[in-house]
Amino acid sequence: MTAQPGPVPPDRPASGIPVRVRPEIAALPPYKQGRQAGAEAFKLSSNENPFEPLPGVVEAVAAASAFNRYPDATAGRLRARLAERFGVTDEGVHVGAGSVSILAQLVQATCSPGDEVIFAWRSFEAYPWLAVLAGAKPVMVPLAEGARHDLDAMADAVTDRTRAIIVCTPNNPTGPIVTQAEFDAFVERVPGDVLVILDEAYAEFVTDATAVNGLREPGGPPRANVVVLRTFSKAFGLAGLRVGYAVGHPRVLDAARSTSIPLSVTGQAETAALASLDAESELLGRVAVVAERRDRLAAGLRDIGWAVPEAQGNFVWLPTAGDTVEVAQAFDEAGLIVRAFAGDGIRISVGEEEAVDKVLRIAASVVSDLPEAHRARG
């Protein structure tokens, strides 16, 4: 017998959700993924690695076929490998199903309802959402000149309700890094009991020697309140397998582990990460190719007058402001799927070599077709 839904009480909110949901969750727009590309189009909307997986990595994953069994809950082999590499104990590493899941765990572990999470804006789209999920208040500090973090303003925004601060470098979606000197001065100003999450999802693409590197010294981040986040999704090309990691104080990571959904990291993901570390020099060779394409793309865009900020990730940012939707449409019609942030700008991932020239061609045509749009910022 099929259960019939009961009558909906007249006081049900207008969200269209038939059950009682936390109001702040009901108010969130439903998640929208970057559009999947058709056969002809280039998908430049999710900062993915354009290179296909290495055959050795594919073979290792195929061999990890005992998936009638649950995986190792701690991803112990990968954890030990990363611990050795960064000169920390195994407890100083935490592996998650993508670094975004560790972000969620850290926010969950630190924030009670009404607490505050500070981050720059615009930055990674997940940040406000993760704060809201935890019942916390997102405190969004506008980017400074050059679409860079305004770390002074972020330190000024700390209150006695602040529990976590996220620093994204290079900043997704705008591109600039935070320098080591800026970060060091910033953490000096942050109370030692406030968690600082250094989100280095794009660290491997950075070519600016002044950039912060939270893992440059063996022994992990020098301060106990700093956790560094890295991922295998971007430089290592494992976005579809979901594996990222954090390095930090073991007790802070224990708190994250306490909030995690057990067994989320699959054996295949762990195996692929280990095989990718084995093939690291080859993979970093590909990263260098992407970084070179990025520099060429950014330089080409600047040559035709676009005010592209420093680009240190695997993407570039077009500050299209009020013309974002029209400009994104022009890319879309040309078979280039980009990520548009209406009213603000467009993030274009650095993808296949053929896509570089195509992006430059369309960006140039926008200059002639939408002269007002472009002149405002050229």
Chain positions contacting ligand PMP, by CB under 6 A = 47, 98-100, 124, 168, 172, 199, 201, 231, 233, 239, 244
Nearest residue (CB) to ligand PMP, 88 versus 201: 201
- Cβ 311 to ligand PMP, closest distance in Å? 14
Answer yes or no: are the C-beta atoms of 105 and 126 closer than 8 Å: no
Tell me 122's DSSP state.
S
User: For ligand PMP, which is the closer residue by CB, 290 or 360?
Assistant: 290
- Between 230 and 374, whose beta carbon lies closer to ligand PMP? 230
Beta-strand (E) ranges in the chain? 42-43, 93-96, 116-121, 137-142, 162-168, 195-199, 226-231, 244-247, 315-318, 336-337, 339-341, 345-349
Q: Which is nearer to ligand PMP, 124 or 306 (CB)?
A: 124
End-to-end Cα separation, the chain, in angstroms: 66
The least CB distance from residue 129 to ligand PMP, in Å, is 12
Q: Cβ closer to ligand PMP: 110 or 231?
A: 231
What is the nearest approach in angstroms of ligand PMP to the Cβ of residue 99? 4
CB atoms under 10 Å from CB of 279, counted, come to: 18
User: Smallest distance, Å, CB 94 to ligand PMP?
Assistant: 13
What does the DSSP 8-state code read for residue 27?
Answer: T
Maximal CA-CA distance, the chain? 68
Q: What is the DSSP string of 160-182?
A: TTEEEEEEESSPTTT-PPPBHHH
Q: How far apart are CA 336 and CA 77, in angstroms?
A: 40
Amino acid at 76: G
Which residue, judged by CB position, is nearest to ligand PMP in the bound state? 98
Q: Tokens for 109?
A: 């572990």
Nearer to ligand PMP, 337 or 366 (CB): 337
For the bound state, the minimum distance from the C-beta of residue 107 to ligand PMP, rounded and expressed in Å, comes to: 13
CB of 265 to ligand PMP, least distance (A): 11
